[in-house]
Amino acid sequence: MAVKIRLKRMGKIRAPYYRIVVADSRTKRDGRVIEEIGKYHPTHEPSVIEVDSERAQYWLSVGAQPTEQVRALLKLTGDWGQYKGDKNAVSTVKIAEPKPAFSLDASKKSVIKPKAEKKADAPAADAPAADAPAADAPAADAPAADAPAADATDAE
């Protein structure tokens, strides 16, 4: 079986992202795959390239052929150089700068508005009244539950 390492397209129209997959060369582009070994998001700045290096090395060693696009990605991550025997192969992928931490601006007002106190007091007054009928209801159900059991013993 001819095995290829290729890109599987996902995402929406004009917003693609890809998974780097190992698949039989006869399957469809987005068809059944043997294993997913990475991700590629070309629309982000800088592009996101994640490859499971260990699995990529394994599949290359057993004869899987990467497509041109995947070979270019493997060169960027340094995996292609490792496979070819280059001891100094390093990743040249750009890493995104971390986003600044969120800081609360004291000059702006809060978005969340406190509830009115009158609304909070009204449900509290109604709560004990609601609990009283609920306490009586289980007592009314208990004799009804015993009655069918008593009828069953009389029928025997």
Q: What is the mean pLDDT of residues 144-151?
A: 58
Split into its structural domains, the chain has a count of 2
Summarize pLDDT for 30-62 with one digit per residue, the tens: 889 999 999 999 998 888 999 999 999 999 999
In the prediction, which pLDDT does 119 show? Answer: 57
Summarize pLDDT for 60-74 with one digit per residue, the tens: 999 999 999 999 999
Same domain, 35 and 77: yes
Summarize pLDDT for 83-134 with one digit per residue, the tens: 888 877 788 778 777 788 877 777 777 677 777 666 555 566 556 665 555 5
In the prediction, which pLDDT does 66 show? Answer: 95
Same domain, 21 and 76: yes
Q: Note whether residue 99 is domain-resident.
A: no
Same domain, 58 and 18: yes
Q: pLDDT higher for 108 or 81?
A: 81
Q: What is the DSSP string of the chain?
A: --EEEEEEEEEETTEEEEEEEEEETTS-TTS--SEEEEEEETTSSSPEEEE-HHHHHHHHHTTPEEPHHHHHHHHHHTHHHHHHT-TT-------PPPPPPP---TTSPPSSPPPPHHHHHHHHHHHHHHHHHHHHHHHHHHHHHHHHHHHHHHH-
Q: Note whether residue 124 is domain-resident.
A: yes
* The pLDDT of residue 140 is above 60: no
Say if pTM beats, i.e. exceeds, 0.85: no
- CATH number for the domain that contains residue 37: 3.30.1320.10
Q: Note whether residue 68 is domain-resident.
A: yes
Q: Note whether residue 143 is domain-resident.
A: yes
Structural domain span for residue 129:
114-156
Same domain, 62 and 18: yes
In the prediction, which pLDDT does 137 show? Answer: 58
**Which of 39, 65, 84 is a domain's end point?**
84
Q: Note whether residue 136 is domain-resident.
A: yes
Same domain, 7 and 79: yes
